[in-house]
Amino acid sequence: MTGLSEHRSISAALLRIVTGAVIVLVLLACDNGQPDTLADNGEVMLTLRISLPTATDGSTATRAITSNEENAIDIAQLKVLVFKASGSTETFSYEAPQVQLLGGKYMVTLKQSLAGEKYRLAVIANAGKKLPVIPDNTPKSDVLKMITFDAAGIWNATGTTSYSRFPMWGETAAAQAITPATSLGNITLLRALARIDVGCALSGETAAGLSGFTLKTVSVYRTKNKGYAAPVNGGTITGNVVASVSIPPDAGTNGALTYTCPDGKSLIRTIYVAETPQGSSRDNNVCLVVGGTYAGSTHYYRVDLTSGGSYIPLKRNCRYIVNIKAVSNTGYATEAAALTGDKTLVIATSVSAEAWGGQTAAGSGTITMPQSPDQW
């Protein structure tokens, strides 16, 4: 992708968001409309072009949300924060003015650098129409910790006309001067939520279903009720997957989040949760309790999220896939009993994870789930 190349007399810079598995915010080199302008006060007005994907999964509004909604950005909640870099230190300088719609184009204004000044841009999406008040010169790490979102209860993903957009974050790869000749490169936005898909004989996003078992409900236990928009403790990001989860210190734990399965086979693009750390035992780790009809009555089965026998956390921008391959005996009569019981259940499942989505090469492919839990 091209970077930003800005000229007063020729083509203008474009900021474009290309979405798919992840959302890529790109500053492009040319525009067919009015050129960007450099105001007398040294401010540079840039064109912000947003491109949203078309649905590719066959979902409809009567089911759950589609890939369109997973990638959607509310322009009123698209924020550009500018940080001044001095050596290895980056401090808050200003928030770009609210993105405006002018002449059919979205426009954002940045200040041109003075001699020797370098800046990094951080983009926050869908985390509120107004960010917290940020004092000047606040370290970037502290600023990002100020931007949180509410994840209490079930995330609203009921349909394409009524849903809650996903908080996202991204930033420029390097700090540099903001001038008419600047090339900022790509800004990749990562969703702050994890997605959990559950299905019977699941292949991709299609469930064939199981003979003798009808999926009725899925309850998710011990997820966090608050999250950071940015991965403030995420460490190195590889293939759009963070090394570690980032949990606000005041985040609490949700009660059971229970979802009803309408087709008896799967819950796809329905369960979205904030990042949640791995537990140390079956009593404090994230788990599912699956309810379904077997042998003529309703039974409940617990499914732990583990890899190689170790509990795993739920990371942002990752899709967790619980594939129920076979149910061969009765479970517990109640969900509470399934959550705490130690009865051996004959329910064959596989748990895997991948970078969320497959529309771009950067976000596709299966993540190797390590044996050591401290790697997750």
Q: For residue range 281-301, what is the model confidence (pLDDT) as tens digits? A: 889 999 999 999 999 999 999
Pick the CATH number of 14-191 from 2.60.120, 2.60.40, 1.10.405, 1.10.260: 2.60.40
Please give the pLDDT value at position 243.
93
Domains of the chain by residue range? 14-191, 193-375
- 75 vs 17, 161, 188, 222, CA distance in Å? 12, 17, 17, 32
- 357 phi-psi bin (left φ>0, alpha ψ -120 to 50, beta other): left
Alpha-carbon distance 135 to 139, whole Å?
10
Provide CB contacts within 8 A for 185, sequence distance 6+.
1, 3, 4, 27, 172, 173, 174
pLDDT digits (tens, 9 = 90+) for 90-125: 999 999 876 666 665 556 678 888 888 999 989 899
Grade residue 261 by pLDDT with cuts at 50, 70 and 90. Answer: very high
Pair of tokens at residue 35: 């050129």
Say if residue 119 is exposed, middle or buried (CB neighbours under 10 Å; 0-12, 13-18, 19+). buried
Please give the pLDDT value at position 186.
66
Helix, strand, or coil (residue 194): strand
Please give the pLDDT value at position 104.
54
The helix or strand, by DSSP H or E, that contains position 105, with its residue range, turns out to be: strand 105-111
The closest of 52, 53, 2 to 31, measured between CA atoms, is 2
Please give the pLDDT value at position 346.
63
Is the pLDDT higher at 355 or at 41? 355
pLDDT at 212 over 80: yes
pLDDT at 45 over 70: no
Helix, strand, or coil (residue 141): helix
pLDDT at 36 over 80: no
pLDDT digits (tens, 9 = 90+) for 304-337: 888 877 888 999 999 999 999 999 889 999 999 9
Mean pLDDT, residues 16-27: 35
Please give the pLDDT value at position 41.
59
What percentage of the chain reaches a pLDDT higher than 90?
49
Is the pLDDT higher at 34 or at 143? 143
Q: Check for a shared fold between 14-191 and 193-375.
A: yes
Q: What is 193-375's CATH number?
A: 2.60.40
Mean pLDDT, residues 330-355: 83
Determine contact, residues 287/303, Cβ cutoff 8 Å: yes
Please give the pLDDT value at position 328.
87
